[in-house]
Amino acid sequence: MHELSLCQSIVEILEEQSRRHHYRRVRRVELRVGPRAMVEPASMVFSFGVASRGTLAEGAALEIRPVPARAVCLDCSCEGEVAKLAEACSNCGSYRLLWEEDGGLRLGEIEVD
C-alpha cells in the first residue's frame, strides 16, 4: 500500500526533526495534499495510525488539507490554480499547463510537545 510507505516516511521525518528541535511528542500533523499526490485521505489516516504506533507520533491527529498547485497555461499565459489532475485552463480550456509546483504531498504545520 502506497499510503503506508508514505506514512512511514512522514514518521521518519518527524523523528529526525524531534532530534533537531528537541520535542518528545507530536500532537498534530498537517499534510498538504496536492493534486498529484494521489492519496486516499481515509487510507492515509489509517496508515498513519499504523506507521506511528510505538513512535513519538502515536495518537497524533493527522489533518489532511487539499491544496491546489499553481500553473501557467502555455497557450494563453494565464496563471491559475489547479485543484486536480487533468484540469483545463479556466481561461481558454487548454490542457497545456505548466505546473509551477510539483503538486505532491508536503508536510504542513506540526504541533509538538
Residues forming contacts to Zn ion in the complex (CB under 5 A) are 73, 75-76, 78, 89, 91-92, 94
To the nearest whole angstrom, how small is the minimum distance from the Cβ of residue 81 to Zn ion?
A: 13
Q: Which is nearer to Zn ion, 29 or 89 (CB)?
A: 89
Angstrom distance (rounded) from CA 26 to CA 14: 8
Q: Which is nearer to Zn ion, 50 or 76 (CB)?
A: 76
To the nearest whole angstrom, how small is the minimum distance from the Cβ of residue 75 to Zn ion?
A: 5
CA angle, 66 as apex, 95 and 69 as ends, to 5°? 35
To the nearest whole angstrom, how small is the minimum distance from the Cβ of residue 93 to Zn ion?
A: 7
Angstrom distance (rounded) from CA 33 to CA 6: 12
- The answer to whether the Cα torsion of 54, 57, 60, 64 is positive or negative is negative
3-state secondary structure of 89: coil
To the nearest whole angstrom, how small is the minimum distance from the Cβ of residue 36 to Zn ion?
A: 20
Q: Which is nearer to Zn ion, 7 or 82 (CB)?
A: 82
Q: Which is nearer to Zn ion, 45 or 78 (CB)?
A: 78
3-state secondary structure of 99: strand
